[in-house]
Amino acid sequence: MGKYGLLGAHLEYSYSPEIHSKFGDYQYDLIEIPEEKLKEVVNSPEYDGFNVTIPYKRSVITLCDEVSSEALRIGAVNTIVKENGLKKGYNTDYFGFCYMLKRNNIELKGKKCMVLGNGGASAMVQTVMRDQGASEIVVVSRHGEDNYDNLDRHFDSEIIVNATPVGMYPNNGVSLVNVDDFPNLSGAVDLIYNPNKTKFILDATTRGIPACGGLSMLVAQAEKSSELFQHRVIDDEEIDAAIYDIRSELLNVVLIGMPGAGKTFLGRRIAEREHRKFIDLDDLIVEREGMSIPEIFRTKGEDYFRNVETEVLRETCKMSGVVIACGGGIVKRKQNYNLAKQNSRIIWVKRDLDKLDTEGRPISQTKSVEEIYEARKDLYEAWSDYFIDNNQDFN
């Protein structure tokens, strides 16, 4: 069966065991170690091979007996396979990045490409860019010749790849660049996979620019590593199937819709069926504020409530794989869309207005339910990926 693992310094958020389970029946461990233990573990007969992540991709090169040409050109190894007493080093990130570009129809040939960051991931990206015929490659770093203070020199860039951790969980919602500054941008790529869509990717998508996050690269490089571990070819269709499965498992389910439409009821049912945690945003707000929603509206006003609601949404949507029921007015604030969309599928729960359960809910006293619905329905439509028709009896 074989025994393999991931070597790294901080692995608490790694998805690698789940991903590798999609490709083969072998043991796969997370091996979180300090650098002084690296040689001992790599040489240990306990393991038949490894994946390697930050910060050891460069330092393991000297521990390998043979290194592939791609890994040598990049200057980093992320996969080690033990064969006939030899430790062979590879870089499957190269394959993963190429697969991600192809899957999302992002072309590099003849394009001016910008890479954010100058670490090991950046070196791999630059190698692919050269191999695929980029016309110009600009590497931007905090203190290099091209840095974030003189980005205007390269506002004509056509492809931007974020190879930094900026925007990664738990520091979601930030980006190193403003995509509006790049009128020729035809592709936005982020190697970050948690959250599913960083602010950089969401901003590009909103403007109709082809964009992709790093999950497909993560899965594809794992598939290539698994091929090396098992000495067998895995069909590319298995990569797409694994991407779909992993994304489905990791994405939150966010329910939106009118007050009383049944979001909490359905959310609990979905969470129970899919073995997920259920979170009701209004319950969290009540717990935080120590009073009911109508009391907050009455004593502190709607603006105060909406501020608290946004902060609770921000914290909750950083999570993965949970079911979240939102208040009916969550769509009233534009900024809430990105907070929800970064890591979630959004489902609009529809229910006929005459069937809404509005008892005890802070429905406006100055507007009818019909008026509120008319003001929100286009937002519900724009936000949602799917909808549920919830006009059956709750019982």
Query: What does the pLDDT read at residue 383?
Result: 97
Asked whether residue 149 is marked as a ligand-binding residue, the answer is: no
Portions of the chain given CATH number 3.40.50.720: 106-209
Could you give the CA distance from residue 228 to residue 255 in angstroms, rounded to a whole number?
Answer: 42
Q: 361 falls in which pLDDT band (50, 70, 90)?
A: low
- The topology under which CATH files domain 251-389 is Rossmann fold (3.40.50)
What does the alpha-carbon distance between residue 161 and residue 307 come to, in Å, rounded to a whole number? 33
Phi, psi of 309 (to 5 degrees): -60, -45
Chain centroid to CA 352: how far?
35
Q: What does the block give as tokens for 252?
A: 């939150």
Q: Assign a CATH topology to domain 3-94+217-248.
A: Rossmann fold (3.40.50)
261 known ligand binder:
yes
Is 394 annotated in some ligand binding site?
Answer: no
Tell whether the model's pLDDT for residue 12 goes beyond 90: no
292: Cβ contacts below 8 Å, ≥ 6 apart? 286, 360
pLDDT at 252 over 80: yes
Residue 262 labeled ligand binder:
yes
What's the CATH number for 106-209? 3.40.50.720
Annotation says 334 is catalytic:
no
**Mean pLDDT across 304-325:** 96
Enumerate the β-bridge partners of residue 211.
188
Is the pLDDT at 208 greater than 60? The verdict is yes
Classify 6 as helix, strand or coil: strand
- Helix H or strand E encompassing 324: strand 323-325
Question: Does pLDDT of 70 surpass 80?
Answer: yes
Q: Which amino acid is at 192?
A: I
CA distances from 179 to 67, 187, 383, 384 (A): 38, 10, 21, 24
What pLDDT score does 393 carry?
62
**In the sheet where 278-280 sits, what is the strand order?**
278-280, 323-325, 252-256, 344-350, 386-389
pLDDT exceeds cutoff 50 at 118: yes
Contacting residues for 348 by C-beta, under 8 A, at least 6 apart: 256, 257, 380, 381, 383, 384, 386, 387, 388
Number of Cβ within 10 Å of residue 362's Cβ equals: 20
Whether the predicted pLDDT of 20 surpasses 80: yes
CB atoms within 10 A of CB 9: 13
**Predicted local distance difference test score (pLDDT) of residue 13:** 79
Label residues 251-275 b or e (16+ Cβ within 10 Å = b). Answer: bbbbbbbbbbbbbbebbeebbeeee
Name the amino acid, one letter, at 46.
E
Q: Within the chain, how many helices (H) and strands (E) appear?
A: 14, 16
User: For residue 357, what pLDDT is reported?
Assistant: 79
Summarize the confidence of residues 268-293 as an average pLDDT.
97
Q: Would the pLDDT of 394 be above 70?
A: no
Bridge-partner residues for 80, per DSSP? 50, 89
To the question of whether residue 376 is assigned a binding role by annotation, the answer is: yes
Backbone φ, ψ for residue 63 (5° rounding): -90, -5
Question: In the predicted model, is pLDDT for residue 395 greater than 60?
Answer: no
Confidence of residue 69 (pLDDT cuts 50, 70, 90): very high
Separation CA 95–CA 148 (nearest Å): 29
CA dist., res. 14 & res. 54, Å (int): 12
Q: Read off the tokens for 106.
A: 């992002």
Assigned token pair, 219: 């899965």
pLDDT higher than threshold 60 for residue 364 = no
Average pLDDT, the chain: 94
Query: Rounded mean pLDDT of 322-349?
Result: 97
Q: Is the pLDDT of residue 378 over 80?
A: yes
What pLDDT does 297 receive?
Answer: 93
Tokens of 155: 């506002």
Mean pLDDT of 154-183: 96
pLDDT, residue 360, reads: 59
What pLDDT does residue 363 have? 58
Given a cut of 80, whether residue 375 has pLDDT beyond it is yes
Q: Give the pLDDT score at 41.
A: 96
Residue 162 CA from chain centroid, whole number: 13
57, 111, 199, 318: the catalytic one is: 57
Question: Tell me, what's the pLDDT at 366?
Answer: 67
Alpha carbons 91 and 74: distance in angstroms, whole number: 8
- Rounded (to 5) percent helix, strand, coil in the chain: 40, 20, 40
The pTM for the full model equals: 0.90
Q: From CA 359, how far away is CA 22, in angstroms rounded?
A: 47
What's the whole-number mean pLDDT along residues 212-229? 97
Answer yes or no: is 130 a known binding residue: no
Residues of the chain with CATH 3.40.50.300: 251-389
CB count in 10 Å sphere of residue 32: 15
Q: Is 173 labelled a binding residue?
A: no
CATH 3.40.50.10860, the chain: domain bounds: 3-94+217-248
**How much is the average pLDDT of 242-254?**
95
Residue 221 labelled as part of a binding site: no
265 belongs to an annotated ligand binding site = yes
* Backbone conformation region of residue 3, classed left if phi is above 0, alpha if psi is from -120 to 50, else beta: beta
Q: Is 96 annotated as a binding residue?
A: no
